[in-house]
Structure 1
């Protein structure tokens, strides 16, 4: 295209090559060419859409200043648009860089064709793409975005012990609460829930920009910690950790560990009264007014004051039992007692004073027993290994088979009752058996009445019902007969009385009452060591030889 101008500056555009040439002929009366006037001339002729650079235009102007001769030079050229489509290695994004055309052709169609050629079908951001193609330029613009996989949520473990602790701390403001019942120890029983496992949530697969699946990263399915000693997943709910043994729980990573033996410094207001199914070890003392009820053993390294201990196993008190009897009034023939120990097994104490101690098996008092009630299902021994101890002074001592002591009674004449040959729990056993007998008699009576009703109303019962009712009556009648015989035998009261013995190493003092079976022998004068037992139905005391 020829550009005619009366000015010394002219332009020529070659359509084939797309180049724009400028020619300047210095002419008298016209100012020299400057960069500004050159650009203004290009604008006036609509040539600024062609690609040009100031450095090239400046070079043309300087050349004219140097030579003062007519000059022709290519100062601009046509340029088509350009683009670059980048796809990430993970096929999750596609980015477009678009260079605008300078008097040339835009690449919009080429961009769309390139997207199709790359196989990009998912997550195309159409609005962003249209905007970029409309403006003609962009730089690394994300025009397609895949769907990232949803991460999996790992298993979570929530302790349930905080809820139990909160339950323990909840107190009715209107209730009358003993301070001894407000302890801080968190204990659990077998079957108590300890921890809840929230199963993992699997991740969701993603989709790349080519429509392919992007697998979610797998996650390990973590179970309860193997270190959860004393606890296992519930048989009904594998995601619920429950206690298998009673004890004191400790939360560990992904689990709970249970110590089946509770260790405390003292049993006092800081611990509160303890009720526990396992074993309790007390490093110090059991203080006055406290209660300790356990299903296992109790081991006290210190002393037991005016407190109560009930154990399903054995009881060991290394420091002795001191039952303060202040304010406790004794009735005639009894002892004022403030300390109480009861064990399904045996009891061993260093010494005992004003204490009620009962054991289904044996009782061992290493030192002395003063003003105590001792009841044992088997044997009682007072004093062991030290000849200066082993004194039974005052109180009531009962064992089924044998009682051993160094001395019984005191020179001051304290009334002391010692009995063997009878089960000290006989009355309780008889009461339980009589209750069972009464229930069976009542059931037998109902069955007899029912049988009589069927005889008067034969249409009310089938042959099968009549047969079952008859069998039930026979069975109940037999059970009642057996129970009656057992009660009668128990009321006879003799439990191996002929073999029962009271063995004394040193002396029995006046004021002591010896009992064997149903026989009673008041001691009216001091005796040396010996053995008391039944001989032809009477109590006979055989001095040591």
Structure 2
């Protein structure tokens, strides 16, 4: 407590001593606030007198000059007022992690189409990432800043607790440009933890039906049960179905495995960038970038394979009945046709996809190069004027890496397709057990309908004719 006299004592016959103005000062326990009150007096102390009194009380920081002036003017007598404020310490922030994949929509909500209609089969079951996609950003801990009390003493702060990514490597890596940015190294399903992300390249689904809707995934899809009519599965990797597939659509960049077979009902469709393996196929349209293999029968289907159509079973099974089957190199089965003379068309000796695939890959290369050029320009602008652009250079570099990988793969695919040449003279149609009448065989541009049954044989192209060899 500081006490101030408003003036020198005076004496006289008719007057008593002038009253003394007392300044009472209290410093709060945290040292950040000083309170004061000033009693009434004939003459009030000046602001400088008050400042000296505060200094005598040990207050040297954060003095509020305007309050002292008001006290000196007598406007705040007998009131407790704040005369000094210190600076509170600013604690540091702990390290924190921000997921960078924005959820498109809540799972189970049908997709709203641009034309206003709703696709009730597209329920957003899985949200996938691609190679190079940014997944999570780490914000390191900060130290904060020290404070200062009204008495001038430093007040220590709490430094933030730092943490690194808990795990790196399960489908992820740190960006080469930014060690605080985690990016995807594989396409797949991102699984987020509080301080980590892992990318699972395989999506496992109990079944594909109205509860899941369509499945679109940048990786491999495994279906434990069945796939219902009207549903669609699209995958950048493989699709494997343990149950039966009905009139559904399956599109995969890799392999398609139909362990329970497929009853397409005339509307089922399978498209694979590589091979299709099935127990049986009925009423299905199949396109395979490599082979189609089956165990039991292919009936009334339209099958197209860039290389071979092969029956893998033993004991006389492995029959193609009806429909049209086309392969680039060979068709090798146990039986072709049926006893009732069902028209069964089988053709080999030409690449059914060459022109189509070249066009697709060329279009993809053009699109990728445009994306690379656009991303490069964004990166240049972000580096030249970082304050004017919200795009993170590290994120753009990660995107560039992913696009470059995809472009390299597309170029390799283009080279393979351009070098693929099928020689009809090396192609064959083989039915190890039996050809039934009604089979229409073609090798290259030469056709031979079979009007009579033929025991197990191999059809070859020789001197411009299709001949049978036992």
TM-score, shorter chain, exceeding 0.5: yes
TM-score, normalised to structure 1, is: 0.58
Match of 1:411 in 2: 339
Aligned-residue offset at 1:180: 1.6
Contact 2:142 2:159 in 1 (8 A): no
Q: 1:314 to 1:174 in 2, by over 3 A?
A: closer
Give the equivalent residue in structure 1 for 2:320: 392
Q: Indicate yes or no: 2:306 matched with 1:365.
A: no
| TM-score, with length taken from structure 2 | 0.66
The residue aligned with 2:276 is 347
* Counterparts of 1:164 and 1:504, CA distance in 2: 51
> Which residue does the alignment assign to 1:516?
443
Residue of structure 2 equivalent to 1:423: 351
- Counterpart of 2:105 (choices 143, 161, 165) is 165
SS of equivalent to 1:410? coil
1:333-371 superposed Cα distances (whole Å, 9 cap, x missing partner): xxxxx2211112111111111112221211110111111
Partner residue of 1:48? none
Quote the Cα distance in structure 2 between the aligned partners of 1:235 and 1:302. Answer: 43
Q: Residue 504 of structure 1 corresponds to which residue in structure 2? A: 431
Cross-structure match for 2:329: 401
Aligned to 1:254: 195
Higher relative contact order (CA 8 A, sep 6+): 2
Superposed CA deviations along residues 38-79 of structure 1, whole A, max 9, x for unmatched, are xxxxxxxxxxxxxxxxxxxxxxxxxxxxxxxxxxxxxxxxxx
1:222 match: 163
1:423-502 to 2 correspondence within 5 Å? 423-426=351-354, 428=356, 495-502=422-429
Partner residue in 1 for 2:60: 121
1:151 and 2:151 matched: no
Task: Give the SS at the match of 2:356.
Answer: helix
Q: Could you tell me whether the CA contact under 8 Å between 2:319 and 2:336 is conserved in 1? A: yes
CA deviation after TM superposition for structure 1 residue 148, in Å: 3.6
Deviations for 1:236-291, whole angstroms, at most 9, x for unmatched residues?
Answer: 76655544432222221123332211111122232222222211111112221122
Identify if the C-alpha distance between structure 1 residues 242 and 147 changes in structure 2 by more than 3 Å, giving closer, same or farther: same
CA contact (8 A) 1:154 1:220 kept: yes
Query: The residue matched to 2:104 in structure 1 has which SS?
Result: helix
Quote the offset at 1:430 in angstroms: 8.5
Q: In structure 1, what is the Cα distance between the partners aligned to 2:293 and 2:132?
A: 36
Any idea what the Cα deviations from partners look like across 1:160-194, whole Å, max 9, x if unmatched? 55542369767369612222223433333344454
Q: 1:206 to 1:511 in 2, by over 3 A?
A: same
CA distance in 2, matches of 1:430, 1:86: 83
Unaligned 5+ segments in structure 1 are: 1-82, 97-111, 136-141, 326-337, 436-485
How far does residue 525 in structure 1 lie from its aligned partner after superposition? 1.2
Please give the alpha-carbon distance, in whole angstroms, between the structure 1 residues aligned to 2:114 and 2:461: 61
SS, match of residue 428 in structure 1: helix
Could you tell me how far apart the structure 2 residues matched to 1:540 and 1:515 are? Answer: 11
Deviations 1:74-98 (A, max 9, x none): xxxxxxxxx9x9998x9879999xx
**Equivalent residues in 2 for 1:24-39 (5 A)?**
none
In structure 2, distance between residues paired with 1:246 and 1:254: 20
Question: 1:171-250 maps to which residues of 2 (within 5 A)?
Answer: 171=112, 175-197=116-138, 200-227=141-168, 229-232=170-173, 241-250=182-191
CA RMSD, Structure 1 to Structure 2 (Å) = 4.3
Work out whether residues 165 and 186 of structure 1, in 8 Å CA contact, stay in contact via their aligned partners in 2: no
